Structures are given as structure tokens and as C-alpha cells.
């Protein structure tokens, strides 16, 4: 089954496509040290929920970039429905190829897609360059919540070796010249909502579209991922949005 379709269906009921609650997202928005008229860049913006909240709260202007042909039209529609088309531009494309003029943003974000630059280090480097000294960076990233079990490592051969601890994620940012301001760390309730909404969406889609040839693959993948989450990921995988400032 095509990746974008799988992601689009499983996230059809999410406005926030990561394991952060709506209240925590509002907290993040309130903690951003931004001047009015700030320029904000969101790479892998999904449905642009965070970008819209920032623009509304801070009077900022924003650009959101996303590669998914499913998510981009949704993001554009939501921006238009909230009357923010003058302030937010949504670009369809690969974030890694987006021309970010160095030092031209006040805030640069990537929430839940550090693979765009090959991991956390590459992401911090790219976003720090986009804002320049004194600029703000927000990165959403997973961390190892406890020692990973051999079963988890075997089930996640690509992800597991890349996972740092929460403290090591912060250390990594500091070592790269970013000051750590704050972290919004998700709790199990946040994770449960994020994961189970995906399962609900897949099951309801399958019931409504029994003739879709992708339904069997959709359910097989989602049920496998759900079991993986409940048996291992729920305890072993953490998630945080790190708020950082590039050292002057
Ligand atoms: C976990 S979601 C996070 C979305 C959004 N940041 C949020 O938190 O609601 C990851 C997003 O990354 C997008 N994505 C994946 N690879 C990308 C790439 N190379 N460039 C831009 N966006 C990408 C996906 O389409 C998806 O919307």
C-alpha cells in the first residue's frame, strides 16, 4: 500500500500529527519568544495546526513545507478556512530541498520528521542555519524512555540504533551550539490518543470502503503497529518537542 495513502487514512482524524496534546501545543505556542511579524518556517508541517496557532497568537507570518500529496491540500484548506491565507504559505515538496535562506527566519521547526536531514544532528544544523544566531528552533523527536528490549530492537532495526535518551537529545543540541529553553514531554495519555486514533481511523475506513483493494494491507499494517505500540513502544519510546535558541 502506498505510504502517503496509509499515512493519510490513519491520520485522517488527527489535526496534530504527533503524540502531543492540544493543551501542550498551546503551551509551546505561549512559550515562544517571538516578536510580532516574526517569520516562521515549518518543515514537514502536516496539517499546519502548529503553524496556524503560532501565526494567530503572535501575529507572525509562516511557510509550511510538506511532501505528502494527501496532507498538503488539507493544510491549504484549513489555512483558508481559518482566514490565514495572507499569512501562511503551504509548499508541497521535499523539506530537504527547500531553499532556506540562511538567517532569514525567527523560528524554524521540524516536528516529527528529523529523517528529512538524516536525523537529529542534521536537523538541528539545518534549522539553526535557517534562523541564525539568536533565532529559535523547535524540534519534535523521539527518545529512548528506558533500555530497549531485544524484541524492540529486532522489530525496529532502523529506528532503534538512532534513539538517544531524552537527556542525550538535549546534550546533542547544546553541543551543537543551541541553548535548551524547554521541552514538552508527552505522557502515555498523549501517546495513546495519537496511536489509537490511527487504529480507529483505519478500522472505520475499512468498514466504509470494503471494495478498496488496499483495505487488507491497511488493516494488517495498522493492527501490527498497534500491537507493537501496546506491547513495547508504549513503555520504551518517548517523545518531546524541544524548544531551543541558537547561541549568539
Ligand atoms: C509525524 S508527521 C508530523 C506532521 C506535523 N509536523 C505535525 O506535527 O502535526 C510527519 C510529516 O512529515 C511529512 N514528510 C515526510 N517526509 C518529508 C519530507 N522529506 N519533506 C517534507 N515533509 C515530509 C509527512 O507528510 C508528514 O506530514
Given the CA of residue 116, which atom of ligand 1 is nearest to it? 19
What is the structure's pLDDT at 2?
Answer: 94
Question: Residue 47: which pLDDT band, with cuts at 50, 70 and 90?
Answer: very high
What is the structure's pLDDT at 178?
Answer: 98
Q: Is residue 206 part of a domain?
A: no
Q: Is residue 208 part of a domain?
A: no
Domain that holds residue 31: 3-190+229-239
Q: Which ranges of the chain would DSSP assign to H, the alpha helix?
A: 3-10, 22-31, 49-58, 71-81, 120-131, 150-155, 166-175, 188-208, 215-228, 234-236
The mean per-residue pLDDT over the stretch 219-240 comes to: 96
Say if CB 243 and CB 32 are below 8 A apart.
yes
- Based on the structure, what is the number of domains in the chain? 1
Q: Which residues pair with 143 in a beta bridge?
A: 238
Q: Is residue 246 part of a domain?
A: no
C-alpha 214 to ligand 1 mean position (Å): 22
Q: Is residue 99 part of a domain?
A: yes
Residues 6+ apart with CB under 8 A from 75: 45, 46, 47, 48, 64, 66, 90
> Side-chain half-sphere of 37: how many Cα atoms within 13 Å?
0
How many C-beta neighbours within 10 Å does residue 210 have?
Answer: 7
Q: β-strand 107-111 against 39-43: which pairing, if any?
A: parallel
Q: Is residue 105 part of a domain?
A: yes
The mean per-residue pLDDT over the stretch 9-16 comes to: 98
Say if CB 218 and CB 202 are below 8 A apart.
yes
Q: Is residue 28 part of a domain?
A: yes
Closest C-alpha residue for ligand 1 atom 4: 46
The mean per-residue pLDDT over the stretch 173-187 comes to: 98
Residue among 178, 106, 105, 94 nearest 141 (CA): 178
Q: Is residue 219 part of a domain?
A: no
Given the CA of residue 11, which atom of ligand 1 is nearest to it? 2
The mean per-residue pLDDT over the stretch 131-159 comes to: 96
Residue 62 has pLDDT above 90, yes or no: yes
Q: How far is CA 29 from CA 86, 121, 182, 186, in A?
A: 20, 24, 12, 16
135-158: b (≥16 Cβ within 10 Å) or e: bbbbbbbbbbbeebeeebeebbee
Q: β-strand 39-43 against 61-66: which pairing, if any?
A: parallel
pTM of the full predicted structure?
0.97
Mean pLDDT of the chain: 97
**CATH classification at residue 14:** 3.40.50.150
Question: Residue 172: which pLDDT band, with cuts at 50, 70 and 90?
Answer: very high
Residue 199 has pLDDT above 90, yes or no: yes
Q: Which residues have C-beta atoms less than 6 Å from ligand 1?
A: 16-18, 43-46, 49, 65-68, 71, 94-96, 111-113, 116
What is the structure's pLDDT at 36?
Answer: 87
Q: Is residue 121 part of a domain?
A: yes
Given the CA of residue 94, which atom of ligand 1 is nearest to it? 20
C-alpha 94 to ligand 1 mean position (Å): 10
Question: Residue 155: which pLDDT band, with cuts at 50, 70 and 90?
Answer: very high
Amino acid at each position: 500500500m502506498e505510504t502517503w495513502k496509509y499515512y493519510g487514512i490513519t491520520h485522517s482524524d488527527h489535526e496534530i500529527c504527533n503524540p502531543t496534546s492540544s493543551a501542550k501545543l498551546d503551551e509551546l505556542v505561549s512559550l515562544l519568544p517571538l516578536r510580532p511579524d516574526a517569520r516562521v518556517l515549518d518543515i514537514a508541517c502536516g496539517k499546519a495546526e502548529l503553524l496556524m496557532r503560532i501565526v494567530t497568537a503572535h501575529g507572525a507570518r509562516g511557510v509550511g513545507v510538506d511532501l505528502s500529496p494527501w496532507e498538503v491540500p488539507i493544510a491549504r484548506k484549513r489555512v483558508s478556512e481559518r482566514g490565514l491565507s495572507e499569512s501562511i504559505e503551504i509548499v508541497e515538496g521535499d523539506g530537504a530541498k527547500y531553499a532556506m535562506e540562511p538567517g532569514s527566519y525567527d523560528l524554524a521547526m521540524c516536528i516529527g520528521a528529523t529523517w528529512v536531514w538524516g536525523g537529529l544532528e542534521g536537523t538541528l544544523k539545518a534549522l539553526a542555519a535557517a534562523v541564525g544566531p539568536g533565532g529559535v528552533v523547535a524540534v519534535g523527536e523521539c527518545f529512548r524512555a528506558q533500555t530497549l528490549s531485544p524484541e524492540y530492537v529486532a522489530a525496529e532495526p532502523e529506528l532503534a540504533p538512532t534513539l538517544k535518551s531524552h537527556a542525550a537529545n538535549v546534550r546533542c543540541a547544546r553541543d551543537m551550539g543551541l541553548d535548551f529553553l524547554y521541552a514538552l514531554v508527552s505522557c502515555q495519555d498523549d501517546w495513546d490518543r495519537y496511536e489509537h486514533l490511527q487504529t480507529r481511523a483505519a478500522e472505520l475506513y475499512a468498514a466504509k470502503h470494503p471494495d478498496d483493494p488496499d483495505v487488507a494491507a491497511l488493516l494488517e499494517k495498522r493492527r501490527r503497529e498497534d500491537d507493537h505500540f501496546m506491547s513495547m513502544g508504549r513503555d520504551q519510546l518517548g517523545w518531546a518537542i524541544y524548544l531551543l535558541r541558537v547561541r549568539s
